[in-house]
Amino acid sequence: MAQVLEFKLPDLGEGLTEAEIVRWLVEVGDVVAIDQPVVEVETAKAMVEVPCPYGGVVTARFGEEGTELPVGAPLLTVAVGAPEGLETSGPVTPGPSGARNGSAPSGSSSPSSSSGSSGTESSGGSGNVLVGYGTGAPAARRRRIRPDRLDRTPTLSGALTVEAPVSEAPASGAPVVPVPAASSTAAPGFAAPGSVAPVSDGPVPVVSPLVRRLARQHDIDLRRLTGSGPDGLILRADVDGAIRQAEETEAAKTRPARAAAAPTGASPAAASPVASAAPAAERIPLRGVRGAVADKLSRSRTEIPDATCWVDADATELMAVRAAMNAATGPSAGPKVSVLALLARICTAALTRFPELNSTVDTEAREIVRLPGVHLGFAAQTERGLVVPVVRDAHTRNVESIGAEIARLTELARTGKLSPAQLTGGTFTLNNYGVFGVDGSTPIINHPEAAMLGVGRIMPKPWVHQGELAVRQVVQLSLTFDHRVCDGGTAGGFLRYVADCVEQPAVLLRTL
């Protein structure tokens, strides 16, 4: 017997509570295999493809592209198993995928019989008897939802057979496949997000605590909303729609008041609402990558007592060494070496000498935790915003290995394919803001790390070299550090060592 299973948005790890649908990879009616990616979602950490743990026919999708869903919310339903021999006493109910259940239309018992059955054609049906398809029929009867299930967060693992709209059981006692509520993507009978319904005395169908908090912040009565989710579940889009509707209503009330307050002798042009109305400010939601960055930076500024020191360094010799490496031929030739890879290798050498800066603070235990390995993060600007990929075990790598890993992670960041694991776990961050054409900055520490090195642009400047004024390649280095883990002497020693390696790359030979 065919069984319709509901696949929910899984826990993507790293404390993520929601994700936005970027692109559906399957359509309703498609046959999917086990572990086949079915949807591409964007979280606060990265963009990932979500595989489905079931194999079968997709019968419904929940949410359009751009919809934000909480972890545990339904993504799609899949009909698993063979539908042969499944009959009902009447035609099936249409849904967004063309059906409300997986049973065959009246007069058909199998896919092979549908093409030759005149009864199906005379009834106006489509003849499709695959699981998830069907013909026109009266609306299905909905079962009453138990109140104790509405305010409970659904489990994230394991399939379940949904008790949403089902057709009446046939008199013959043949089993009927329960199917979840129709997808909000295509269901014509669903209410628009944020539509107002009569006040109900029963429990409010809300799962996400984020939705409840958003409603409280804007004084939205959830009992007056009609949810666009499965079984009337109120989603974030519904609350956002109610907020916009309330703002529009308030604006409509204030316009007549402004018109009445206008002077009697004012000219028609002056009294025109178009002329008197001020342009509305644009509101951009802080969510996704931008929201995660905002939260982390705010937390860093709130919790970490940071300080910054900086120094100018003559990078002429470093640039010459890089040019010599890249110009090498024969057995000594290798991949091109970037300035960022050289600076990253200098950082790992400096952290070996000053391990205080490769640490974090446990505020609850009131302890400084010195970390055994260096996982070096580097700031990368992408179309989706600022991300910090992490080079694992950077202290065990040479310049070529670090450069290759930076190039690989940069390409993944550019295409939005970084996984959450590749964006977390860093112990120290290197920020090359010189690519934006600026000389200096005071970086904000990437919480919960203890320090960040900032690198400005390398450009020709007047410089006293060997007692004479010369034009040299000069760079400004800045170190922002957590003053709880060390004093200024340690931070200054770290920065001075980095500057010495930039000015005299031969210093690194001692640690190679």
The token pair at 23 is 């692109």
DSSP label of 445: P
Q: How far is CA 473 from CA 280, 320, 461, in A?
A: 48, 10, 6
Three-state secondary structure readout of 126-181: CCCCCCCCCCCCCCCECCCCCHHHCCCCCCCCCCCCCCCCECCCCCCCCCCCCCCC
Backbone φ and ψ of 70, nearest 5°: -80, 155
385: left (phi over 0), alpha (psi -120 to 50) or beta: left
CA atoms within 13 A of residue 162's CA, in its CB half-sphere: 27
Mode of pairing for the β-strands spanning 451-455 and 359-362: unpaired
Q: Which DSSP string do the residues of 418-444 spell out, in sequence order?
A: --GGGGS--SEEEE-GGGGT-S---PP
Peptide bond into 448 cis (omega under 30): yes
Residue pair 162/180 in contact (Cβ under 8 Å)? The answer is: yes
Alpha-carbon distance of 448 to 472, in angstroms, equals 37
Mode of pairing for the β-strands spanning 359-362 and 367-370: antiparallel
Backbone φ and ψ of 50, nearest 5°: -100, 120
Catalytic residue among 375, 395, 465, 483: 483
Q: Is 381 helix (H, G, I), strand (E, B) or coil?
A: strand
Alpha-carbon distance of 8 to 18, in angstroms, equals 12
Residue pair 199/224 in contact (Cβ under 8 Å)? The answer is: yes
Residue pair 90/106 in contact (Cβ under 8 Å)? The answer is: yes
Among 437, 427, 458, smallest CA distance to 342 is for 458
How far out from the chain centre does Cα 367 lie?
32
DSSP label of 225: B
Cα-Cα-Cα-Cα torsion 328, 329, 330, 336, nearest 10 degrees, comes to: 70
483 given a catalytic annotation: yes
Q: Which residues are catalytic?
A: 483
